Amino acid sequence: MRYHRVMPRLVVATVLGLLCVPVGALAAPSPTPTASAAAQPDARNGGVVEGRVTNVDYQKGVVTIDSTNQGKLDVATMPTTSVQSDDPGYHALSDVAKGSKVQIFISRTAGKLVAQIIRLLKH
């Protein structure tokens, strides 16, 4: 007999609680897109650079190349940087070594060159 009185109240309380959740989420202010966009500098296409790797700092994630037309360049890498080759299989930054011939697709962000794709070329 006790459950017949408690169950309807419990069901009503649960339904009302579920209806209040979306209303609370709508009432919360959303961040403005301009505020977050202003905090991050705009990335621009930096083009393609080709040359030989003269140094790789694996801890800092920086590849130094001697470019055929731009001289020595330090190019930063990110965890999202893709390393590609004609050889089958998965490739990582550890496959890029001193003396490797590379083609790097870069972006410019806050005056820094950032590698988006590193393509290992055959000698």
Confidence category of residue 17, pLDDT binned at 50, 70, 90: low
Give residues with Cβ within 8 angstroms of 54, minimum separation 6: 64, 65, 66, 72, 98
Domain co-membership, 105 together with 91: yes
Among candidate residues 96, 53, 94, the one with its CA nearest the CA of residue 74: 53
Domain co-membership, 24 together with 59: no
Domain co-membership, 8 together with 32: yes
Q: What angle do CA 32, 35, 36 make, to 5 degrees?
A: 95
- Residue 24: the pLDDT is 47
Which domain covers residue 96, as residue numbers? 43-121
Average pLDDT, the chain: 79
pLDDT one-digit tens code per residue, 50-72 = 999 999 999 999 999 999 888 99
Into how many domains does the chain fold?
A: 2
CATH number, domain at 101? 2.40.50.320
